[in-house]
Structure 1
Amino acid sequence: MRVLILQHAEFEHAGRFRALFAREGIETRAVLMPEVERLPPLDTFDALWVLGGVMQVWETDKYPWLVDELDLIRRAVEAGKPYFGICFGHQLLAAALGGEVGPAEVAEFGVIPVRRSGPQAGLLEGLPEEFPVFSWHSAEIKALPPGYAPLAETGDCGNQHMTGKGAVGSVQFHPEIDTATMRDWFASPGVIEDLTPKLGPDPERVMIERLERHETELAQLAETLFMNWLARARASLG
């Protein structure tokens, strides 16, 4: 299986999923969206992963390449390719398929509890009814695409997970985050300055401690999501 991964910043990579891809013998190709001149054609990959980003779905004037990315997502899903989206990739999937994305009423940040809310588990099959996630977003899905239903929620955001036909799924939170990935985030310009008012003079230490406190559950979350998605992807691809 060949997986195309769309990144929107050097530091927002696939994190703990990189080891899972390698363990399962899956070939991956990461493309940094702001720098790529032309998106790969559909026949060069079997599945599509779209990661987080600091931009917003509606900022197509500021980031004109978003138009092409939204089109690629739509065409990939319509072609039956497996898809997994994280945070911005969750919102892009909704927008590409006719949903609505807008500013969140309450921005979510940190390790927070998510509850399963749908009649089906989706990619959360095997997880408890409530589980911790790392989240960082200021936009949210306001209306899901036709045929999609909300499968998880928090008190402030009702669309934390959705799935479609075949192996199409996405989450609003960041299951890829582990302590090493978090350190990559903090090494990027502006992150410490942005978080110091929220977390105090040593925000990196605070966040690393919070992640370490929940490491067992966060690792299980990533493993469960990945293997559930992979089972669907392999069945879909035949």
Structure 2
Amino acid sequence: MCGICWGHQTIALVFGGEVVDMAMPELGVTEVTLTAAGERFFKPQQEALTTCATSPPTTLRVQQHHRREVSVAPPEFVHLAADNQIFLSPNNNILTIQSHPEKDAQTAKLRIGDVRRWFPEGVGTEDEVIKRMELPHDGLAIWERILRWALEEG
């Protein structure tokens, strides 16, 4: 099972984690720092990742679009990234990701109205958010890794 964004949050809740409203929601491409386990997990995709100048990769560039976050991780899940951004279940059957690897800039910009709704102050203009949405990201490489993970024997 793979949970993305709300699915990531829901799976965390079901398995004993906690979800809270963020002080400042996220829209656009951001960098997520991988843990050592995350570096090993994403190593098969290293050459396809946009930010990987080192071996193994230490960050992923991801499209974000959320106003809630996992504040407490589900017990025993492996952290693949800092700040509760990516989890893997201990039995390798559940992978969860807070970001949106399925979104490209065009798709992300469909929700530009959320800037006014979610970000009344402090994150910049709609034009600035659009520029963040247009930054290079690792969505395709993340999807390729998800598909490889789904085919792995458990």
2:114 maps to which of 188, 191, 195: 191
Which amino acid in 2 is paired with 1:226?
Answer: W
Alpha-carbon distance between aligned partners in 1 of 2:97 and 2:20, rounded to the nearest angstrom: 16
Seen in structure 2, the aligned counterparts of structure 1 residues 122 and 144 have a Cα distance that, compared at 3 Å, is farther
Q: Helix, strand or coil: the match of 1:228?
A: helix
Shift of 1:115: 0.8
| Amino acid in the other structure paired with 2:73 | L
Q: Does the aligned pair in 1 maintain the 2:32–2:60 contact within 8 Å?
A: yes
In structure 2, what is the equivalent of residue 14 of structure 1? none
CA distance in 2, matches of 1:161, 1:230: 16
1:89 and 1:170 in contact (8 A); partners too:
yes
Q: Could you say which residue in structure 2 is the equivalent of 1:161?
A: 86
Q: CA-atom RMSD, angstroms?
A: 2.7
**Alignment CA distance shift 1:105-1:123 (3 Å):** farther
Cα drift, residue 142 of structure 1: 2.5
1:99 is aligned to 17
Change (3 A) 1:196 1:142: closer
- CA gap of 1:176–1:99, structure 2 versus 1, over 3 A, is same
**Range moving further from structure 2, 132-141 or 169-178:** 132-141
Q: 4+ residue stretches of structure 1 with deviation over 6 A? A: none
The answer to whether structure 1 residue 225 and structure 2 residue 142 are counterparts is yes
Deviation at 1:90, TM superposition (A): 0.8
> Given the superposition, is the C-alpha separation of residues 104 and 210 from structure 1 closer, same or farther in structure 2, using an over 3 Å criterion?
closer
1:161-198 CA-to-partner distances (Å, cap 9, x unmatched) read 11122342111122222122023223xxx535325744
The answer to whether the aligner puts 1:234 opposite 2:120 as a matched pair is no
TM-score w.r.t. length of structure 2: 0.72
What SS class does the counterpart of residue 199 from structure 1 fall into?
coil
Q: What residue number does 1:85 align with?
A: 3
Structure 1's unaligned 5+ residue stretches are 1-82
Q: Distance in 2 between matches of 1:136 and 1:182?
A: 8
More contact order relative to length (CA 8 Å, sep ≥ 6)? 2
Q: Does 1:142 pair with 2:71?
A: yes
Q: Deviations over 1:123-176 (max 9, x none)?
A: 5332521232222333222222232122212xxxx2111112234211112222
Equivalent residue number for residue 130 of structure 1: 59
Distance across 1 between alignment mates of 2:110 and 2:70: 27
**Which structure has the larger Rg over C-alpha atoms?**
1
